Amino acid sequence: MAELSRWREAKKEMATTTAMVEQESKETRGTVPRVSRPSRGPDPKPDSERSVAKNTGIDRRTQRRAAEHVAVIERYPFLQRWLSQAGATVGT
């Protein structure tokens, strides 16, 4: 019988302690500043092939091929005239 009363007292004490902890938790929850985690890896570059592909919907392989074509035309300017003349004859 004495054991039962001690058990009931311990249970009441535990409930009181739990209620106090919950109350303190509610009071301090809004005052604790949130800490943001740094992003993993390097910052994304807005002009990377992956970013451009995501934003424009143009495949990265297509981007690379277009850049290669531009580089060839810049390196060999006579091709630009030749390609524009060839394009004009193909379209007719």
Over 60: is that where the pLDDT of 92 sits? no
Digit-coded pLDDT (tens) for 7-66: 888 888 888 888 888 888 777 766 667 777 787 888 878 888 888 888 899 999 999 999
**pLDDT at 88 exceeding the cut of 80:** no
With beta carbons less than 8 A apart as the criterion, state whether 60 and 48 touch: no
3-class DSSP assignment, residue 55: helix
Closest CA to 60 of 68, 33, 10: 68
The reported pLDDT for the residue numbered 30 is 66
Is pTM beyond 0.75? Reply is no
